Structure 1
């Protein structure tokens, strides 16, 4: 009897011992090489870009704006609005090739994605589509950031989950929302105090070796313009809320306190209602479709004008508009549709926008930002460069 009891205890402790060893080995493997399967994609520890963002030794900081990729599922996702001769061989991979061509040709310092990065209703798995959509910029090891449009969340992730996921991708500088800053509640507010997901600021420092090497000389504001909303019984597009504008105004006031103004650029998806006025004004580019904005005017333009530091705003949403026009001294520019699964016009090449901020040259070193220029690249045989213009010049205010 005693022998039988002892045998059972031996078996019991042997089982516990091997269970403990297995669990320990699993934990060690997880800590040494943490990996999670999300969708069909393995996720490892995030690779961050070198920080801070800064101007090059040539005194320039180049941004590639990519609007409305509308990425679906890759090779099986067909193109829209292309010539009949192009249709059979056209898929999401055309969008990927175009993005790679842009990166190779322009060698940007930073890439800004302004929403509708994936086309939710066509994306079987949001995580997998995001990986495929952003793969060219991650492979290039360039720093990048994104905001959401009105189609991204129509797959398997909410807007908060999308921004969280995007913020964890390689070389991404995207943020869900600004963190709390107890030292300055006017600038850093609690996450829950700001509407939307994807409201944040990125600072770009001066050129290495200059007296501004450790100072921000250009600010990049990112805002969540929402997706769809109901006003009364009417459906409309989303808009930037007062909580977001309050945060942005506080942020801007903090940057304007030094004697030298730091210029800023803003990026969001849905244009503001005043952009419709540009149909009757001088523009650079093409105004080919009605402006799809919210019926609610939340005072975004007035806030940006009153702030004084925002020199240009870059939006997406209306794929066949690619113009820049001036409202109250601020240029509002469309990126033009980049993605082949998004609507467009047959025979009208997909396109993307380049923005370059240039430093002034002092006697011995680079100074503050002196000029901001822009142009577009077309996805044609020559990657044609069109509509080059100056958006802001320190010595020739608008």
Structure 2
């Protein structure tokens, strides 16, 4: 489905992250998560759903294919265009990234229209275009990257953006660059880039309450942030992964943002909820804020 600004020049994205749906029959906490999803999608008049990974648990889950299918059906009931990327817990045992993509393509009726899909080592990068309200001009580009899972080398815990993914970002950004230095485009993935450590020192709003590691980023830096900065037209990045982090930070004038953990069947003391991202075509502004479940639940 094409994404387009409304006639009033508005476009609203709702970000879910770390829903962590587990075994069937579903636990009470999973049913609470399903209700949060349904309540949020009923409450917010969103134009796009983006899930930034750890949609499900996969390790030790015997019916993982069915769990993922049933989870997607909860989202698809709202009939809002949807896009996803995957986290470190989505494909740990039997199910693969390609399995997850195939199930998504089959089960979700309202899929956002992917552009420039690139798959390397079963990890997909792609773009979403947001068109002007009254023309087919591309106003904003959303870059969606699969940031991987566990570190493939004995350095750190989590994976890093592959150099080929950074090259893909550069190639693709070149196609969309307008040359006006207006920060209009967004990047979405699951695992934060290392520069979130610096952004945590310049928090505009929110909390950095993660106690295991303050920022669970990879220990290798392959340069995605640097290339976002050099592009000149990226406003910022949205991730998940750290359930007790929920902030918008600033580093070299790029916004590095955490989604609000959405799932109950996982660790974390932060109140569950979603993050809203509001774009305005006329004023070329971007605004984001978390919304806690008590603010929209019925």
| Shared fold (TM-score, shorter chain, > 0.5) | yes
Counterpart selection for 1:276 from 181, 190, 197: 197
Q: CA deviation at 1:262?
A: 7.7
Q: CA deviation at 1:260?
A: 8.7
**Structure 1 Cα separation of the partners of residues 107 and 70 of structure 2:** 12
**Structure 1 Cα separation of the partners of residues 101 and 292 of structure 2:** 29
Aligned to 2:150: 228
Aligned to 2:273: 351
The alignment status of 1:327 with 2:251, answered yes or no, reads yes
Counterpart selection for 1:377 from 275, 280, 291: 291
Q: CA deviation at 1:323?
A: 0.3
Tell me if structure 2 keeps the 8 A contact 1:255–1:261: no
Counterpart selection for 1:198 from 124, 136, 147: 124
**Structure 2 Cα separation of the partners of residues 257 and 160 of structure 1:** 33
Determine helix, strand or coil for the equivalent of 1:164.
Answer: helix
Structure 1: which 5+ runs fail to align? 1-50, 78-89, 180-190, 361-368, 385-398
**Structure 2 Cα separation of the partners of residues 305 and 93 of structure 1:** 41
Q: What is the number of equivalent residue pairs in this alignment?
A: 293
Aligned to 1:388: none
**Structure 1 Cα separation of the partners of residues 74 and 10 of structure 2:** 23
Aligned to 1:65: 15
Counterpart selection for 1:123 from 49, 54, 61: 61
**Structure 1 Cα separation of the partners of residues 13 and 121 of structure 2:** 27
Aligned to 2:162: 241
Q: CA deviation at 1:163?
A: 2.1
Aligned to 2:95: 157
**Structure 2 Cα separation of the partners of residues 214 and 199 of structure 1:** 23
Correspondence 1:89-168 to 2 at 5 A: 90-168=28-106
**Structure 2 Cα separation of the partners of residues 309 and 374 of structure 1:** 17
235-244 vs 162-171, which deviates more? Answer: 162-171
**Structure 1 Cα separation of the partners of residues 287 and 178 of structure 2:** 26
Q: CA deviation at 1:58?
A: 1.9
**Structure 2 Cα separation of the partners of residues 76 and 257 of structure 1:** 48
Tell me if structure 2 keeps the 8 A contact 1:359–1:370: yes
> Residues 264-297 of structure 1, C-alpha deviation per residue, up to 9 Å, x if partnerless?
1110000011111233323310100111111111
Tell me if structure 1 keeps the 8 A contact 2:239–2:258: yes
Tell me if structure 1 keeps the 8 A contact 2:183–2:234: no
Aligned to 1:254: 175
RMSD, aligned CA: 2.1
The alignment status of 1:302 with 2:215, answered yes or no, reads no
**Structure 1 Cα separation of the partners of residues 138 and 111 of structure 2:** 19
Tell me if structure 1 keeps the 8 A contact 2:19–2:263: yes
Q: 1:152 to 1:144 in 2, by over 3 A?
A: same
Q: 1:282 to 1:139 in 2, by over 3 A?
A: closer
Tell me if structure 2 keeps the 8 A contact 1:102–1:377: no
Determine helix, strand or coil for the equivalent of 1:145.
Answer: strand
**Structure 1 Cα separation of the partners of residues 238 and 289 of structure 2:** 12
Q: 1:195 to 1:155 in 2, by over 3 A?
A: closer
> Residues 308-343 of structure 1, C-alpha deviation per residue, up to 9 Å, x if partnerless?
111021000000100000111110110021101121
Q: 1:219 to 1:108 in 2, by over 3 A?
A: same
Structure with higher Rg: it is 1
* Runs of 4 or more consecutive aligned structure 1 residues displaced over 4 Å after TM superposition: 257-262
> Residues 12-41 of structure 1, C-alpha deviation per residue, up to 9 Å, x if partnerless?
xxxxxxxxxxxxxxxxxxxxxxxxxxxxxx
> Residues 351-383 of structure 1, C-alpha deviation per residue, up to 9 Å, x if partnerless?
2100010121xxxxxxxx611111111112x33
